């Protein structure tokens, strides 16, 4: 039996392209520093919390034209949070850079996420291990986890492990929460004069970790192309069978970037954007009416089929739902220790809940299908919040739209047929084999992370810019983590966090959807992207997301 597929065998041999100056060699890069920076919000509070790493300048690398000496330095690497395509290549780039700089350097992978550095669980990464994971999806080389690094005890244990392994730098590969933890760890290490540098790498398929310096988070390119392929296939099926409406929920809780990008790639009939729903203060009823009217208009033309894309976090963007969920989160925290509630039947639990909710939230809760009510009351996430990914929003909308269409049929405004299929695409994209873009981008991020370490920097996020150009024109550097931070309320306390980047309704990406959505609603404008291509012309294999292209075009216009 084959251990790997022919495609994986070929991908293992793929040599990723390096960004600009990095291609000249890790020992030949020259660091230049810009002006000092400040936090994106709550500047005084962030500066007080991070006095040792705050206000650092943006870093940029160029080729020095001469070899730079490097002392021996061991590095530890952590994969943190959910998986994203390309994580293995970040580690590969880091590994190759440190071994090129000094063959005596060692790279230690902490197992199971941030808990690995606290518990002292690790492996030394070698050529033999690394060569099995190049250009592959997943985080299985060392595993991942969601443990937060934020307490004095954790930092002390991490320091003990680093001393034992003679580690001089730590690279944390993660999203906004993980890199907030990286900043906390960098501050603690600097405060205690440990000499240990901490560098982050921007990961999340949700696409909400970005700004002027971080153009795209890794994994977004591959994940959206994977979802677009699946949706293109479904669109082809719908256009062939002509009898189903497909309601497709897409991963992305806090932002709708994935849904927006996939919509631009596939041109479905309906695309909901959470940020738009929130800005327009749309109610659940208004959303249902909007979707039902499109379905009815198509049905009246004999088109009893279509595609609707729904962002995973839609529920929390609907103002009335957001209020109800916040009330539920507080209420459920109190009811966890209430024996009478825990022993009650499901119907009795609903009675208790509605009696405790405010009238408007109680009315909304009672209007929901029983299955959705049950999902809202399921076990909470580690933050004590509703697990939004487990709420079947797509099925909720189907049930409510079906009811609305029956009313419209009775009124004579709809004469079509409605049959539906529900889908949720999430895990299908998190560990996909990375696209050429993500393979190259991630390799450069890891290689660049060691360049930042070699330059003595700490509290930085690895940054690769100019990414719509060929890799030879990419610009490598680093952005201070504190520059991306503000204060937000978490668990009832104000905490420093990296600010999430939401869909900008006045930005070029949403405007592209807005310009076309009425045409796509009624006409069959479906695009079928097909599978990710790894071999062939650059215009097919190396092209990046529509989101990135539109954002960079706007940036060039504004320069």
Residue ranges making up the domain that contains 466: 6-219+434-490
557: left (phi over 0), alpha (psi -120 to 50) or beta: alpha
Residues 446 and 422 in one domain: no
Q: Is 381 a catalytic residue?
A: no
Q: pTM, whole model, 2 decimals?
A: 0.94
Strand-strand pairing, 475-480 and 270-271: unpaired
pLDDT tens, position by position, 23-56: 999 998 999 999 899 999 999 999 999 999 999 9
Q: Report yes or no: 105 and 58 within 8 Å, Cβ to Cβ.
A: no
Residues 194 and 227 in one domain: no
Tell me the average pLDDT across 256-281. 98
Mean per-residue pLDDT over the chain, rounded: 94
378 sits in which H/E element: none
pLDDT tens, position by position, 87-140: 999 999 999 999 999 999 999 999 999 999 999 999 999 999 999 999 999 999
Number of structural domains the chain divides into: 2
Residues 333 and 202 in one domain: no
Of 311-325, 452-466, 520-534, give the lowest mean pLDDT range: 311-325
For residue 17, is it within any domain?
A: yes
For residue 98, is it within any domain?
A: yes
CA–CA separation, 5 and 527 (whole Å):
29
Residues 337 and 473 in one domain: no
CA–CA separation, 100 and 516 (whole Å):
50
Contacts of 106 (CB under 8 A, 6+ apart): 74, 75, 124, 165
| pLDDT confidence band for 71 (50 / 70 / 90) | confident
For residue 497, is it within any domain?
A: no
- Among candidate residues 467, 446, 436, the one with its CA nearest the CA of residue 20: 467
Residues 474 and 419 in one domain: no
CA–CA separation, 199 and 182 (whole Å):
7
Does the pLDDT value for residue 502 go beyond 80?
A: yes
Of the candidates 177, 206, 208, 438, the residue annotated as catalytic is: 206
Residues 114 and 58 in one domain: yes
Give the CATH number, domain containing residue 337: 3.40.50.460
Q: Report yes or no: 532 and 432 within 8 Å, Cβ to Cβ.
A: yes
pLDDT tens, position by position, 183-220: 999 999 999 999 999 999 999 999 999 998 999 999 99
Predicted local distance difference test score (pLDDT) of residue 404: 97
Residues 267 and 413 in one domain: yes
Residues 294 and 180 in one domain: no
Predicted local distance difference test score (pLDDT) of residue 557: 60
CA–CA separation, 187 and 288 (whole Å):
48
């Amino acid at each position: 039996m084959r251990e790997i597929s022919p495609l994986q065998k070929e991908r293992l041999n793929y040599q990723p392209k390096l960004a600009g100056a990095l291609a000249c060699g890790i020992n030949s890069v020259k660091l230049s520093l810009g002006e000092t920076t400040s936090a994106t919000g709550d500047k005084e509070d962030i500066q007080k919390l991070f006095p040792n790493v705050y206000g650092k300048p943006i870093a940029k690398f160029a080729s020095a034209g001469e070899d730079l000496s490097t002392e021996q330095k061991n590095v530890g690497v952590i994969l943190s949070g959910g998986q994203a395509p390309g994580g293995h290549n970040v580690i590969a780039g880091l590994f190759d850079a440190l071994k090129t700089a000094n063959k005596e350097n060692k790279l230690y992978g902490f197992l199971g996420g941030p808990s690995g550095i606290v518990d002292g669980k690790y492996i030394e990464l070698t050529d033999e291990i690394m060569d099995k994971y190049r250009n592959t999806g997943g985080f299985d080389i060392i595993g991942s986890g969601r443990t937060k690094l934020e307490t004095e005890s954790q930092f002390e244990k991490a320091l003990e492990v680093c001393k034992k392994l003679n580690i001089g730098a730590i690279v944390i590969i993660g999203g906004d929460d993980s890199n907030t933890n990286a900043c906390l760890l960098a501050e603690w290490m600097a405060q205690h004069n440990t000499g240990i540098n901490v560098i982050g790498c921007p990961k999340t398929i949700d696409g909400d970790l970005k700004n002027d310096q971080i153009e795209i988070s890794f994994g977004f390119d591959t994940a959206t192309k994977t979802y677009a392929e699946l949706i293109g296939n479904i669109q082809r099926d719908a256009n062939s069978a002509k009898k189903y409406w497909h309601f497709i929920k897409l991963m992305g809780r806090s932002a709708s970037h994935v849904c927006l990008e996939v919509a631009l790639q596939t041109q479905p009939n309906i695309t909901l954007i959470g940020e738009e729903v929130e800005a327009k203060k749309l109610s659940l009823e208004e959303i249902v009416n909007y979707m039902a009217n499109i379905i009815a208009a198509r049905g009246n033309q004999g088109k009893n089929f279509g595609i609707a894309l729904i962002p995973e976090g839609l529920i929390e963007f609907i103002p009335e739902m957001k209020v109800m969920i916040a009330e539920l989160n507080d209420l459920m925290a109190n009811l966890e220790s209430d024996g009478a509630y825990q022993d009650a039947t499901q119907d009795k639990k609903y009675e208790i809940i509605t009696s405790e909710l405010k009238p408007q939230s109680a009315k909304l809760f009672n209007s929901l299908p029983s299955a959705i009510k049950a999902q809202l009351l399921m076990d909470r996430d580690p933050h004590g919040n509703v697990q939004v990914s487990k709420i079947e929003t797509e099925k909720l909308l189907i049930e409510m739209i079906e009811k609305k269409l029956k009313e419209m049929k009775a009124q004579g405004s709809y004469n079509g047929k409605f049959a539906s299929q529900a889908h949720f695409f999430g895990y299908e994209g998190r560990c996909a084999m990375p696209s050429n873009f993500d393979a190259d981008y991630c390799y450069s991020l890891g290689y660049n992370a060691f360049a930042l370490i070699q330059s003595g920097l700490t509290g930085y996020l690895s940054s690769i810019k100019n990414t719509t150009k060929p890799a030879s024109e990419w610009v490598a550097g680093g952005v201070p983590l504190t520059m991306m931070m503000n204060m937000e309320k978490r668990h009832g306390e104000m905490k420093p966090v990296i600010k999430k980047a939401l869909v900008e309704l006045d930005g070029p990406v949403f405007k592209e959807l807005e310009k076309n959505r009425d045409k796509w609603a009624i006409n069959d404008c479906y695009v079928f992207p097909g599978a990710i291509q790894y071999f062939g012309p650059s215009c097919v294999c190396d092209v990046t997301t529509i989101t990135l292209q539109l954002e960079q075009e706007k940036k060039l216009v504004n320069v």
